[in-house]
């Protein structure tokens, strides 16, 4: 599974908004400058985040965007899902909720299900607050 630029930038945008939350509604222009993201791409990312109710928007002179809830109430997984549309590591129909004609005999299906659950659990265990406070512990990988 590879997380695209859109997913990575969505995390950066949400972290930026969390760090500047005390300023109220934030302009996309300010976020774009701080995060070095083009306005056009940022607008597409923010649209996805708003659609999933992760950000709130307000029009007008004092308008902009802000988090809908506290940083500790967001998980990295839900942010990436909002931007990417999902986290499933493979396009296996069984992993996407459909019934596969090979599900009963597929020897690789348990691998994909386990991998999917591990990704969901890991990214669901890290909050936006963890990310901005630098408390994400690196996972030890055995050699």
Burial tier of 45 (Cβ tally within 10 Å: 0-12, 13-18, 19+): buried
| pLDDT, tens digit (0-9, with 9 covering 90-100), for 73-115 | 999 999 999 999 888 777 775 555 566 777 778 898 888 889 8
Domains (ranges, CATH) in the chain? 5-133 (1.10.10.10)
- Residue 80 sits at φ, ψ, to 5 deg, of -65, -40
Average pLDDT over residues 110-139: 90
Percent of the chain predicted with pLDDT > 90: 64
Overall size of the chain counted in residues: 143
Average pLDDT over residues 60-81: 94
- The average confidence (pLDDT) of the chain is 89
The least confident of 6-10, 67-71, 82-86 is 82-86
pTM of the predicted protein model = 0.86
How is residue 106 annotated by DSSP?
Answer: -
Calculated CA dihedral for residues 72, 75, 79, 80, nearest 10 degrees? 150
Q: Is 7 helix (H, G, I), strand (E, B) or coil?
A: helix
For residues 130 and 136, is the Cβ–Cβ distance under 8 A?
yes
For residues 6 and 86, is the Cβ–Cβ distance under 8 A?
no
Distance CA 89, CA 2 (A): 8
For residues 65 and 57, is the Cβ–Cβ distance under 8 A?
yes
Q: What are the residues facing 64 on neighbouring strands?
A: 58
């Amino acid at each position: 599974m590879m997380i695209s630029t859109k997913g990575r930038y969505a995390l950066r945008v949400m972290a930026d908004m969390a760090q500047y939350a005390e300023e109220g509604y934030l302009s996309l222009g300010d976020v774009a400058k701080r995060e070095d993201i083009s306005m056009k791409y940022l607008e597409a990312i923010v649209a996805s985040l708003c659609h999933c109710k992760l950000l709130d928007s307000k029009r007008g002179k004092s308008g902009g965007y802000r988090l809908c809830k506290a940083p500790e109430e967001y998980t990295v997984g839900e942010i990436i899902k909002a931007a990417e549309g999902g986290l499933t590591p493979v396009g296996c129909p069984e992993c996407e909720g459909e019934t596969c004609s090979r599900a009963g005999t597929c020897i690789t299906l348990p691998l994909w299900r386990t991998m999917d659950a591990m990704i969901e659990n890991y990214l669901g265990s890290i909050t936006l607050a963890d990310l901005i406070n630098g408390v994400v512990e690196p996972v030890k990988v055995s050699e």
